[in-house]
Homo-oligomer: A and B are copies of this chain.
Amino acid sequence: MDVLLNDEEEMIRDSVRQFFDAECDMLRVRGIEDGEQRSDPELWRQLAELGWLGLALPAVYGGSEAPFTQLCLLFEEAGRALAPIPLHPHSVACLTLAEAVDRGDCGALAETLLSDACLGDCLLTWAWSERLPNIGPEAVGLLAVADGNGWRLHGQKRFVEAFELADYCLVAARTEATGTSDEGITLLLVDPRSDGVSSTAQLSLAGDYHSEVRFENVYVAGDAVVGRVDEGWALARPMLERAVVLNCALIVGATRRAAERAFDYAKERVAFGHPIGSFQAIQHTCADMITWVDGAELLTREAAWHIAQGLDAALPAAAAKAFTNERCQAVLREANQIHGGYAQVKEYDQQLWYRRAAAWSMRLGTSLEHRRTVARAIGLV
């Protein structure tokens, strides 16, 4: 037991941070936010070249087979840097494909995509939630009706990241009309440019886009299945846990940076003849901020460690997300309060961290939903 980073982890954290410090300044972040492009292709290419896109993927596809804990550190740094790239949806989809291949439940398409994904030549995303913002199996209603060897999709998905940019989207559908249970779900790789697919990208608080995707009689071939037919939940559950933990890592990374900026500001800014950071009220607020973000980080890393160890991560992932959502919002709020009016001003940088981390904390399940999961896991339900 040693919850601190080991040498290898520190090395990874430091080199990722150096990379982002050098390549991803706020001009670049603002460039994507204010421009036409929705992702920075140059940054993406650089990440691929340095091997970061394949960090936790199997060596056979060009990955480094690093444990999930190290991927988690990469995400903390990506969050810290506000890297304007679809690292999250891409990684979630890639990890799920790799898991399916590893289980022997996947065809050749997935293997090709994984090789391309490590090289940065193929961008993947995934689609789960629909009408409600939930991430339990009850969220999946999209119908997949058998048609020969393949299926016909009828329905919609909401809150899909980078859908218009992606080469493939891993879509959760109901191949059996089992209502809201975890049976009868199948994961399918869908080309966003398929006939019958349409989408509307909606601007989020983070400045990126969440798409609403409609499927009207969309044909998907049999080899598009990832995992087993009707038993998609077996793969989806770890997918969702990974998605949740990586989302927490992004939030924690960005929130810590927002807090550090506030600490720095408190040291410099003078009011009533003293740096405001010398006032007890500000000092105690800062003490709470670091305590909360540290707590979120430890919960997140412990959940990542469970995943890396192959242990059941449902409880620690839900606990991390429930806590991180709320406490990181609180840290951001206090960081704003320290900055005062400047926190509101667009041309001042603080808001970049604030908006993104806050928006991320609203994704992938509310704290209320995750606490339901916790309550179930600790035997209250």
Contacts and interface: CB of A to CB of B under 8 A. Distances in A.
Contacts of A279: 280
A280 B279 CA distance: 7
A22 interface: no
Interface string A274-308: 00000111001000000000000000000000000
Contacts of A284: 281
Nearest to A279: B280
Interface in A259-279: 279
Contacts of A280: 279-281
Contacts of A281: 280-281, 284
A277 to B, nearest CB: 13
A26 to B, nearest CB: 33
Nearest to A281: B280
A273 to B, nearest CB: 15
A282 to B, nearest CB: 9
A279 B281 CA distance: 9
A338 B279 CA distance: 19
A284 B282 CA distance: 11
A284 B280 CA distance: 10
A139 B68 CA distance: 51
Interface string A168-205: 00000000000000000000000000000000000000
A141 to B, nearest CB: 25
A327 to B, nearest CB: 19
A93 B280 CA distance: 50
A281 B280 CA distance: 6
Interface string A53-87: 00000000000000000000000000000000000
A280 B280 CA distance: 6
Interface string A219-247: 00000000000000000000000000000
Nearest to A282: B280
A103 B284 CA distance: 58
A279 B280 CA distance: 7
A53 to B, nearest CB: 46
A281 B282 CA distance: 9
A363 to B, nearest CB: 25
Nearest to A284: B281
A281 B279 CA distance: 9
Interface in A81-138: none
A285 to B, nearest CB: 10
A287 to B, nearest CB: 10
A368 to B, nearest CB: 14
A75 to B, nearest CB: 36
A281 B287 CA distance: 12
A327 B320 CA distance: 28
List the 5 closest A-B pairs by CB distance, nearest first: A280-B280, A280-B281, A281-B284, A279-B280, A281-B281
5 contacts: A279-B280, A280-B280, A280-B281, A281-B281, A281-B284
